[in-house]
Homo-oligomer: A and B are copies of this chain.
Amino acid sequence: MSEATITQTHWLARIYVTLKSGVVDPQGDTILGALRQLHFDSVAGVRMGKYLEVTLTAADDAAARATVEAMCTTLLANPVIERYTFEVAPVTS
């Protein structure tokens, strides 16, 4: 066989999903109200988002990023009301 051996590395993707600006955020508003009740009067606003840590195997950085991008668009974020960002780093074990 002449196929090259592809070494798979483990990667950790940190994914941040936030509501687009202008989208009503009832969860954030509720937390803001609770903080005010606890006398955190200096708080001006709260926006609630999601944070995911995904471990995956991939041949290289570009492959890992492509997979995470695909995950975000097909499952993890709702493109109508949410935006997402992520960073990918090799797992040192």
Q: How many whole Å from A61's CB to the nearest CB in chain B? A: 14
Task: Please tell me the number of chain A residues within 8 Å of chain B, measured between CB atoms.
Answer: 34
Please tell me how many copies of the chain the complex holds. Answer: 2
Q: How far is the CB of A50 from chain B (nearest CB, A)?
A: 6
Residues of chain B with a CB closer than 8 A to A76's CB: 31
Choose one: B40, B45, B50; the contact of A67 (CB below 8 Å): B40
Q: Is A44 an interface residue (CB 8 A)?
A: yes
* Binding site secondary structure of chain A: strand
Note all chain B residues with C-beta closer than 8 A to A4.
none
A51 contacts which of B50, B58, B71 (Cβ < 8 Å)? Answer: B50
Are B50 and A48 in contact, CB atoms less than 8 angstroms apart? Answer: yes
A53 touches B57 (CB 8 A): no
